[in-house]
Amino acid sequence: MELEKFLEIRASFCIKYPEVTEGKMMSSPAIHYKKKVFAFFSRKHKMVFKLGKEYPLDELGVEVSEFNPFKNKKPLAGWFEVDFIHNKKWEMMASTALEQIKSK
């Protein structure tokens, strides 16, 4: 169910935006813009977004946490994960992540 929602969002973005493609991030399905990952589906059944270190997270209106796939390292800077219970916001957050990567 969670993966299907991610795949639906990814397919929609690939159709809507010519530079957006399917890909991988840490062996997980991902969404790329010009070969750079801006969102992916984690093994914890959450969607992960690259919003940047300075992004005002309170504007999202959803609970996010820093993405940390490592046991003995800091979280990945600027990457945030969102639980499936907030999946109605995933597409909006993917759009935000896409805009962030386009602006760089």
Range of the domain at 14: 2-102
Model confidence at 71, pLDDT cuts 50, 70, 90, reads: confident
CA distance 78 to 67: 8
Supply the pTM of this predicted model: 0.94
Overall size of the chain counted in residues = 104
Name the domain count of the chain.
1
pLDDT tens track for 18-61 = 999 999 998 999 999 999 999 999 988 999 999 999 999 998 99
In what order do the strands lie in the sheet containing 65-66? 20-25, 28-33, 36-41, 47-50, 79-82, 65-66
User: Which residue has tokens 């979280």?
Assistant: 75
